[in-house]
Amino acid sequence: MKQGNLTVHTENIFPIIKKFLYSDHEIFLRELISNAVDATQKLKTYSSSEDFEGDLGDLTIKVSIDSKKNTLTISDRGIGMTEEEVDKYINQIAFSSAEEFVQKYADKKDAAAIIGHFGLGFYSAFMVADNVELQTKSYRKGSEAVHWSCVGTTTFEMEKGSRKKRGTEVILHINEDSKEFLETARIENMLKKYCSFMPVEIEFDGKKINNTEPLWLKKPAGLKDEDYIAFYKELYPYAEDPLFWIHLNVDYPFNLTGILYFPKATNYMEPQKNKIQLYSNQVFVTDEVKEIVPEFLTLLHGIIDSPDIPLNVSRSYLQADHNVKKISSYIVKKVSDKLADIFKENREDFEKKWDDIGFFIKYGMLTDEKFAEKAMDFSLVKNVDNKYFTFNEYSEKIKPLQTDKTDHQVWLYANDAQQQHGFIDAAKKKSYDILIFNNPIDNHFIQLIESKIEKLSVKRVDADTLDKLIDKDEKIGSVLNSEEETSLKETFESIAGKEKYSVKLESLSPEDAPVMITQSEWMRRMKEMSRMNGMGNMDSLPGGYDLILNTNHKLSKKIADAKGDEEAKKLSGYLFDLARLSQNLLSGQDLTDFVSKSIENLG
Ligand code: ADP
């Protein structure tokens, strides 16, 4: 038997490993199985060498629990190790990398964050085990089996082992605090999480755990839609079918494979993030890809597999990493190319999907300058008649009629076609077109397109009278004289209240509504945005609503002539209620009174 001291200077290295890795204990299994996979892969390479003896045989990696002995065992049929190799790789190299880790990160605050990404390797076993044993036998001709054990101090024992077959068995004597790792369900979950797509077969309790040839590694040419959908279901069993996907495959200047899926949008306000899984050579690393892909891409689902993403460094470093930046812009380019392709090749399909992918595209345009540039060509707007247009198409369509005296084109929109029906109707009578912007993100999106498209104003259809929204300087005169106008204005001011509404006279067409309520585009946007950004309610701010009186409507003349008598008050009160009704501003006592008044009038 050989005994020895591990070449290490930090006497208390094990307590430190345990303490540091506390938050991410379970990665020990990933590390040990990765080693087993590596050893098996190497065997396949070496099997043609002279040293190799016998057959490859069944190469399945087996994981098992012995609840009587409190052990968890990982056994492989890989290359195994000779005594010299155990000495070199386990006693010296592996240990020194563990020590280096501890020294490097001992006083860093973000140690917890980097921990899962540092290949602590073999020694991570000591996070959960007091005693770790190795039974190993090298693939080389005439090798002797070796038994190694270490009880979590800096001394180890090495002697002749009992293993008959080539390969390695790592036996963890699970410690008191880590009993959870003796539970079948816990281990199965961990295996599913970290090992689902590892390249060598893994069995636990006789059950096969992994798919050794995941879809993303296959050639896209040979794959059908069903294959992609089936794989998506494998990843997210409860999700609806994805809308489409992008198969990533690069080998220069970095290595990257993967599949990104566009999910069916279910909830705009709480998009499901953290659904992309990051792999390194088929080993699950993390599902927090925030620093690796731009934020809007985290709305996508799927897999990114790259050995070129440095996983053993801190997150802040990752953001500045050259490779990561390249990978990130590559993915953005791929995603925008794919969207542009679908748009070009199958416009109809793209339009059908717009309601689901629109949020993603808008979010991307708002947060990523490069993406915004590309998406200007395929981003769509939808009008109240459910027709879709690109920005250019829409400009061309509406310019002849909807250009104002300052040569600005005016895009009109509604956010609720039912509620703003009256305004839409009036605009349509003038042959104006009305878009639908009804997503919470649209306030920001509207500002973005106003900044991207020259001489464009976007206004909600109820923000003012149509003559003002698209001011063409085609004023018609008022039929009322100034005395009548004052009388009309005063009557309405006394009814509506000057503090709440600023009453304005407009000489509109006699066919336009006699009274209407508008809310200035600017004020409404400001209020909506502050509400969205959680800056409190600004509804109490004055100046929001205008009460517009059409001096050319015949009822206006009637009210003006009555000079504030009972009849005039009754009539104007009723018109005011109707205007509020069509802006959804009539409620409570006022609504009840309106209903009884209307019934009375019928009698
Ligand atoms: P790393 O895997 O990053 O090299 P580890 O600490 O996990 O670091 O392992 C150190 C070395 O020990 C490995 O490089 C390998 O040579 C050897 N080793 C570990 N596990 C096995 C195994 N199951 N079979 C054969 N060799 C192994």
CB of 77 closer than 8 Å to CB of 167: yes
- Residue 251 covered by a domain: yes
CA-closest candidate to residue 83, choices 8, 10, 156, 154: 156
Q: Is 147 in the same domain as 74?
A: yes
Of 174, 208, 242, the last residue of a domain is 208
The model's pTM: 0.80
- Residue 93 covered by a domain: yes
Q: Is 457 in the same domain as 535?
A: no
Mean of the per-residue pLDDT values for the chain? 86
Question: According to the per-residue pLDDT averaged within each range, which of 148-152, 242-246, 509-513 is highest?
Answer: 242-246
pLDDT of residue 556: 93
pLDDT of residue 273: 65
Name the token pair of 444: 């920001």
Of 185, 208, 231, the last residue of a domain is 208
pLDDT tens across 33-87, in order? 999 999 999 998 888 777 787 788 999 999 999 999 999 999 999 999 999 999 9
Name the token pair of 393: 């198409």
Confidence of residue 343 (pLDDT cuts 50, 70, 90): very high
Maximum CA pair distance of the chain? 117
Q: What long-range pairs does 368-372 form, CB within 8 A, spacing at least 24? A: 368/294, 368/296, 368/332, 370/329, 370/332, 370/333, 370/336, 371/294, 371/296, 371/332, 371/335, 371/336, 372/448, 372/452
The more confidently predicted of residues 531 and 513 is 513
- Residue 396 covered by a domain: yes
CA distance linking residue 404 with residue 401, whole number of Å: 9
Q: Is 46 in the same domain as 112?
A: yes
CA distance linking residue 569 with residue 284, whole number of Å: 74
Residue 145 DSSP class: P
Q: Is 391 in the same domain as 497?
A: no
Q: For ligand 1, say whether the CB of 200 is within 6 Å of any of its atoms.
A: no
Q: What is the CATH number of the domain that holds 119?
A: 3.30.565.10
Q: How many helices (H) and strands (E) does the chain have?
A: 20, 22
pLDDT of 283 above 50: yes
pLDDT of residue 229: 96
Instruction: Tell me which residue has tokens 């000495």.
Output: 87
Q: For ligand 1, say whether the CB of 161 is within 6 Å of any of its atoms.
A: no
pLDDT of residue 315: 52
Name the token pair of 239: 């999700």
Q: Which residue CA neighbors atom 19 of ligand 1 most closely?
A: 35
Number of Cβ within a 10 Å radius of residue 554: 10
Least confident stretch, 14-23, 378-387, 509-518: 14-23
CA of residue 89 to ligand 1 center, whole Å: 7
Q: Is 65 in the same domain as 138?
A: yes
- Residue 356 covered by a domain: no
Name the token pair of 411: 């895009």
Name the token pair of 12: 């208390």
pLDDT tens across 391-433, in order? 999 999 999 999 999 999 999 999 999 989 999 999 999 999 9
- Residue 361 covered by a domain: no
- Residue 369 covered by a domain: no
pLDDT tens across 246-273, in order? 999 988 888 899 999 998 865 555 556 6
Instruction: Tell me which residue has tokens 């306030």.
Output: 443
Q: Which atom of ligand 1 is nearest to the CA of 34?
A: 2
Q: Is 159 in the same domain as 14?
A: yes
Q: Is 465 in the same domain as 533?
A: no
Q: Is 151 in the same domain as 251?
A: no
Total number of domains constituting the chain = 4
Q: Which residue CA neighbors atom 16 of ligand 1 most closely?
A: 89
Q: For ligand 1, say whether the CB of 122 is within 6 Å of any of its atoms.
A: yes
Confidence of residue 223 (pLDDT cuts 50, 70, 90): very high
Q: For ligand 1, say whether the CB of 435 is within 6 Å of any of its atoms.
A: no
Q: What is the CATH number of the domain that holds 552?
A: 1.20.120.790
Q: Which residue CA neighbors atom 13 of ligand 1 most closely?
A: 89
Least confident stretch, 99-108, 189-198, 210-219, 348-357: 99-108
Q: What is the CATH number of the domain that holds 252?
A: 3.30.230.80
Q: For ligand 1, say whether the CB of 76 is within 6 Å of any of its atoms.
A: yes
pLDDT of residue 19: 58
- Residue 229 covered by a domain: yes
Q: Is 452 in the same domain as 306?
A: no
> What percentage of the chain exceeds 70 in pLDDT?
86
Q: Which atom of ligand 1 is nearest to the CA of 93?
A: 10
Q: Which residue CA neighbors atom 14 of ligand 1 most closely?
A: 89
CA-closest candidate to residue 30, choices 202, 206, 257: 202
Q: Is 339 in the same domain as 312?
A: yes
**Angle, vertex CA 359, rays to CA 358 and CA 365, nearest 5:** 90
| Cβ within 8 Å of residue 471, ≥6 positions away | 404, 405, 406
Candidate of 6, 33, 34, 35 to mutate for ligand 1, largest count of ligand atoms within 8 Å of Cβ = 35
Least confident stretch, 163-167, 280-284, 321-325: 321-325
Of 164, 188, 208, the last residue of a domain is 208
Least confident stretch, 217-231, 357-371, 424-438, 525-539: 525-539
Q: Is 231 in the same domain as 264?
A: yes
pLDDT tens across 354-390, in order? 988 999 999 999 999 999 999 999 999 999 999 999 9
Question: According to the per-residue pLDDT averaged within each range, which of 262-266, 498-502, 586-590 is highest?
Answer: 586-590
3-state percent breakdown (helix, strand, coil) of the chain, nearest 5? 45, 20, 35
Q: HSE, CB side, 13 Å, CA atoms: give it for residue 476.
A: 15
Type of residue at 51: D
Domain range holding 419? Answer: 379-469
- Residue 365 covered by a domain: no
Q: Is 239 in the same domain as 123?
A: no
CB of 120 closer than 8 Å to CB of 95: no
